[in-house]
């Protein structure tokens, strides 16, 4: 099949591209290579993909540039689109809310329109556990009411889910929304906690800990997330939403302990107040993904952190 992967030079996107290439598909990666974090990291991801010597094409472009997207869709007949490109992160979205709406909402609209006009029936779209907001019920289920977003990032992902439903309802497109839960592993973005903490602990610098360390996240190893994404591409769903988490919560305090063990170095804690937009817990109910996708995460946090640290040490430069 011919796959278009937006955000294909990024953390999750590069892993998705690699898996697709290794399983015999042709892949086009569309990525802006913006400076949210160093473009050199994304160039390194592209280098890994090109080294596979598989049918891979990279196109640099902005989701908000409708003409650039149209040109890609007109150049190739795509069988499926996996839409991972977005401005990510809760805290940065509080600083630049309009940018997040432009890229995530307008960009997704542009992508869905380009797919519709070129008769691409199936689009898989990345959403986020952030849409659950401060959810009193745990674990989070896809059927939970989600009207309590507490960041512009979460609001933008909610809008994308609504857009996906519109394009299914009006145009009959096959749209799946995937709510990711704190993905980590090799190639993780440097702004994310595990990577950032590993850098600071290694350098003997303080790590910022917001609150008392009791906040908990459902950390999901990247290979498990990719398993879920690829399972979605195997059949039609109409319109569907799936949680892709590990379904185990890990407190910030325990995460730091695991990093200390893997790095062989104690962390210096810089205790700070809780940040606006942060939720106290994320916790995925994955029964629906298990039943309909055969999704069964394999990597527990105690195994995943050493795997991340191994990659981190090999790529520290």
153 is catalytic: yes
Both tokens of 60, joined, read 């640099």
pLDDT of 96 > 80? The answer is yes
Both tokens of 19, joined, read 């898996």
- Please tell me whether residue 273 adopts helix, strand or coil conformation: coil
> What dihedral angle (degrees, nearest 10) is formed by the CA atoms of 243, 246, 249, 253?
-120
pLDDT of 279 > 80? The answer is no
Query: pLDDT tens digits for 287-298?
Result: 999 999 999 999
Model confidence at 109, pLDDT cuts 50, 70, 90, reads very high
- How, if at all, do strands 250-251 and 216-217 pair? antiparallel
Q: Which of 233, 215, 224 is nearest to 286 (CA)?
A: 224
Contact between 271 and 209 under an 8 Å Cβ cutoff? The reply is yes
Q: Which top CATH class is 2-314?
A: alpha beta
- Counting residues of the chain whose pLDDT is more than 90, the rounded percentage is 87
| Distant-in-sequence, close-in-space partners of 275: CB < 8 Å, separation ≥ 6 | 91, 210
pLDDT score at 277: 67
The answer to whether the predicted template modeling score (pTM) of the entire model surpasses 0.85 is yes
pLDDT of 266 > 80? The answer is yes
pLDDT of 210 > 90? The answer is no
Catalytic residue among 153, 167, 184, 283: 153
Name which of 73-87, 111-125, 194-208, 266-280 the model is least confident about.
266-280
Cα(183)–Cα(13) distance, rounded to whole angstroms? 12
Model confidence at 317, pLDDT cuts 50, 70, 90, reads low
pLDDT of 80 > 90? The answer is yes
CA distance between the termini of the chain: 36
């Amino acid at each position: 099949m011919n796959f278009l992967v937006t955000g294909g030079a990024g953390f999750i996107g590069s892993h998705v591209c690699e898996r697709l290439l290794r399983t015999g598909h042709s892949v086009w990666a569309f990525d802006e290579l913006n400076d949210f974090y160093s473009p050199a990291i994304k160039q390194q991801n592209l280098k890994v993909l090109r080294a596979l010597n598989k049918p891979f094409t990279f196109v640099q472009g902005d989701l908000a540039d409708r003409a650039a997207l149209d040109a890609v869709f007109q150049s190739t007949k795509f069988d499926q689109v996996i839409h991972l490109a977005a401005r990510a992160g809760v805290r940065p979205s509080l600083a630049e809310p309009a940018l997040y709406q432009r890229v995530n909402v307008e960009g997704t609209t542009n992508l869905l329109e380009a797919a519709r006009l070129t008769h691409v029936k199936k689009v898989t779209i990345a959403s986020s556990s952030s849409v659950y907001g401060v959810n009193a019920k745990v674990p989070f289920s896809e059927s939970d009411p989600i009207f309590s977003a507490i960041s512009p990032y979460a609001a933008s992902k909610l809008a994308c889910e609504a857009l996906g439903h519109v394009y299914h309802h009006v145009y009959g497109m096959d749209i799946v929304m995937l709510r990711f839960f704190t993905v980590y592993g090799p190639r993780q973005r440097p702004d994310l906690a595990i990577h950032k903490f590993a850098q600071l602990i290694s350098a003997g610098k303080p790590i910022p800990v917001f609150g008392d360390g009791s906040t908990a996240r459902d950390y999901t190893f990247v290979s498990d997330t990719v398993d879920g994404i690829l399972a979605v591409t195997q059949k039609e769903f109409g319109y569907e939403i799936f949680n892709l988490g590990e379904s185990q919560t890990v407190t910030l305090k325990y995460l730091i302990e695991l990093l200390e063990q893997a790095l062989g170095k104690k962390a210096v804690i810089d205790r700070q107040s809780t940040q606006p937009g942060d939720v106290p817990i994320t916790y995925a109910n994955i029964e629906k993904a298990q039943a309909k996708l055969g999704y069964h995460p394999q990597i527990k946090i105690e195994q995943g952190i050493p795997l991340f640290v191994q990659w981190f040490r090999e790529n520290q430069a």
